[in-house]
Amino acid sequence: MIDFITRYNNYYPLEDMPLTKEMRIDGVDPIPMSKWNWGLVNRPGYLKSVSEEELYLSLLEVGEVTVHRGYLLLPGRFLKRRDGNNSKGLKYKCEWTKENGIQDLNEGPNKLPRLSCRFMRYSMGQIFIETEDGFKKAVLTEVDAAYQTMSDEEVRNDKIHQSNKLKNLKSKHDEKQGETRLKASNIVAKAASEKAPISTHEANSQDITANREESHS
């Protein structure tokens, strides 16, 4: 059986075997192995030639950054999973946008420039900004540098955790400040109650020299 199949593939002509124009020009016979051998040599010629970098970037996810004066913000919605809540986004810095004045085009919070970007969910340390000069790398700012090797899910969870922690700290601060204000108010009230009553006439006619001497003593 093996010998039969081998001879069939190598020598038996198939009348209805599809051959392209290029195959006919190259003299490919309507025999399975003849067509196979032609494909081993020529099949790559039908693929689009792209650089490894271009292929890598084309496989990344597409996002959008808003351009602020001091940073580029990848909004939290791009870090959101189906069952998750939005978190604060990530801040990046890009030399190309700074050098080309893109970050100087800020005309207000509702008119921030936006740029398309590419990123990999499993490593948010860098993203690639889509520009007229090709893709330009942007890296995390010092504020978010701790997320260098984290995935989008890890970043989102930590952002939410930090946000809740900050709210608790602010609440504790407000509570302490309330205690401080109450204590100060009590001190002022006590001082006012201990203050010796004096009429307007007495206040206007008192000898300030005596007060000055007392203050210097």
- Token pair recorded at residue 202: 């007495």
Q: For residue 131, is it within any domain? A: yes
Q: For residue 141, is it within any domain? A: yes
Q: For residue 39, is it within any domain? A: yes
In whole angstroms, how far apart are CA 108 and each of 55, 103, 155?
36, 12, 28
Q: For residue 178, is it within any domain? A: no
Residue type for 31, please? I
pLDDT at 114: 92
Same domain for 150 and 81: yes
Residues in the chain: 217
Q: For residue 216, is it within any domain? A: no
Same domain for 84 and 153: yes
Same domain for 64 and 32: no
Please list the pLDDT of the chain residue by residue as tens digits (217 residues): 777 778 878 888 888 889 989 899 999 999 999 998 998 888 765 566 777 777 787 788 899 999 998 999 999 888 876 556 677 889 999 999 999 998 887 666 678 889 999 998 888 999 999 998 889 999 999 999 999 989 888 888 898 888 889 888 888 888 888 888 888 888 887 777 777 677 777 667 766 666 666 555 5
Which of 94, 155, 153, 151 is closest to 128 using CA atoms?
A: 94
Same domain for 80 and 6: no
pLDDT at 211: 60
Q: For residue 151, is it within any domain? A: yes
Which of residues 162, 186, 202 is at a domain's end?
Answer: 162
Same domain for 60 and 156: yes
Which of residues 162, 181, 209 is at a domain's end?
Answer: 162
Please state the separation of Cα 167 from the chain's center in Å.
22
Same domain for 60 and 37: no
pLDDT at 126: 93
Same domain for 117 and 61: yes
User: The domain containing residue 137 runs over which residues?
Assistant: 53-162
Contact 90, 147 (CB under 8 A): yes
Instruction: Write down the pTM of the prediction.
Output: 0.57
Q: How many CA atoms lie within 13 A of 94 on its CB side?
A: 28
Q: For residue 83, is it within any domain? A: yes
Same domain for 73 and 32: no
Total count of domains within the chain: 2
CA distance 34 to 23: 10
Same domain for 96 and 139: yes
Same domain for 153 and 125: yes
Same domain for 58 and 40: no
Q: For residue 154, is it within any domain? A: yes
pLDDT at 179: 82
Same domain for 34 and 132: no
